[in-house]
Structures are given as structure tokens and as C-alpha cells.
């Protein structure tokens, strides 16, 4: 069975207060990573309308991961089925994608500080051009149980669920740049 990714994010000004809370609840810091995410648009389907995403992620250590995210509609939460594969030759993979008619949309660059709290991954993301966010992610098979877990985690972190953003960084980026033009 393909697991579903359930996530919420909240825009923040600073990370110090959330780091303090995470240490208090026993979250474990897992390190920092940098991602360069190249997003693609399908030639016949509008991913903006379907909520899908196709991306190639380059990590700071030179690894490449190709990801497809399929949207599952759920109010107040971003829920997606996710399929990932490691890519040995990103240049050939990009040629395949282009020859199938996919077009590059944009590249999102972020520095991510990863934490682990129980089964949740909590990330402090600094996204180039967009600002700072706390992102909480669970990989699940049971959506209802995951919603309850997410609510408890938000409460533990003293984060307001009503301020949660369910848009992806790509969606936030595209909206911001659409307003400029």
C-alpha cells in the first residue's frame, strides 16, 4: 500500500521559540539539509487544479529523488499519496520528462532543519523568497487516526490549527509571483 503524506505548515517569524518547545516535549533534532526542488507541469493536466505535483529533488550531498504526489481532498489538511524513487542519472531523467512533454515550472530552494517527535517529522524551513515555516508531516495509512495525531502535535507545539497552511511551497510561490505580474 502507498502511504499518504499528511502535512500542515505555519508561517513564522523566528524559529527560537519553536526549538525551545520541541526540546521541552522531547523532540529529537535530526540535522539540517538543503533542497533544490525542480517542479514540472504535465502537458495535458493542470496540476494546479488537480493538486498533484511532480518534482526532482537535489540534496546538498548530490543525491536526486524523483517524486510524484497525488492529491487526496481533505479540508484543513494537505493529504497526498506519494511515490518516490532515487535517480542515478538526473540528466537522463530530465530528458525523459521533457520528451514526454513535461515542462519545468520553477525551482524552490530551501534550508530545512529536521526534528523528530514520535512518528512526526517537524521541519523548520527557510524557503528562498518565501520566508520561514514550520512544517509538520506524518506518513500514514489511516487518515482519521492521523488527523487526531496532527491535532495533538499542534497542541503540544502551541500552534494554532486555524493558522495552518495546506498549500505547498510551490503553490505559495506561484501565488506570490502571480500577484507581482
Least confident of 54-68, 71-85, 88-102: 71-85
**Model confidence over 135-176: pLDDT tens digits?**
999 887 777 777 888 889 999 999 887 788 888 898 899 888
The residues assigned a catalytic role are 39
Residue pair 140/126 in contact (Cβ under 8 Å)? The answer is: no
- What are the boundaries of each domain within the chain? 4-180
Distance between CA atoms of residues 17 and 25, nearest Å: 13
Query: How many angstroms separate the most distant Cα atoms in the chain?
Result: 51
* Prediction pTM value: 0.87
- The band of 75, judged by pLDDT with boundaries at 50, 70 and 90, is low
> Which CATH entry fits the domain spanning 4-180: 2.40.320.10, 3.40.50.970, 3.30.70.330, 1.10.10.60?
2.40.320.10
Q: Is the pLDDT of residue 1 over 60?
A: no
Report the candidate in 101, 134, 107 with the shortest Cα–Cα distance to residue 120: 134
C-alpha span between 16 and 115 (Å, rounded): 14
- Let me know: does 134 contact 124? Beta carbons within 8 Å: yes
Say how far apart CA 27 and CA 22 lie, in whole Å: 5
Position 121 confidence tier, pLDDT thresholds 50, 70, 90? very high
Amino acid at each position: 500500500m502507498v502511504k499518504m503524506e499528511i502535512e500542515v505548515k505555519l508561517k513564522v517569524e523566528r524559529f527560537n521559540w519553536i526549538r525551545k518547545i520541541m526540546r521541552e516535549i522531547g523532540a529529537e533534532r535530526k540535522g539540517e539539509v538543503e533542497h533544490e526542488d525542480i517542479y514540472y507541469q504535465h502537458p495535458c493536466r493542470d496540476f494546479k487544479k488537480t493538486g498533484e505535483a511532480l518534482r526532482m529533488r537535489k540534496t546538498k550531498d548530490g543525491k536526486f529523488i524523483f517524486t510524484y504526489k497525488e492529491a487526496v481532498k481533505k479540508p484543513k489538511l494537505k493529504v497526498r499519496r506519494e511515490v518516490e524513487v532515487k535517480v542515478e542519472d538526473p540528466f537522463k531523467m530530465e530528458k525523459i520528462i521533457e520528451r514526454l512533454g513535461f515542462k519545468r515550472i520553477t525551482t524552490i530552494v530551501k534550508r530545512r532543519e529536521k526534528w523528530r517527535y514520535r512518528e512526526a517529522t517537524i521541519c523548520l524551513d527557510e524557503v528562498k523568497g518565501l520566508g520561514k515555516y514550520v512544517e509538520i508531516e506524518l506518513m500514514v495509512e489511516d487518515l482519521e487516526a492521523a488527523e487526531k495525531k496532527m491535532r495533538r502535535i499542534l497542541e503540544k507545539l502551541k500552534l494554532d490549527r486555524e493558522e495552518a497552511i495546506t498549500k505547498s511551497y510551490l503553490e505559495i510561490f506561484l501565488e506570490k509571483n502571480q500577484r507581482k505580474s
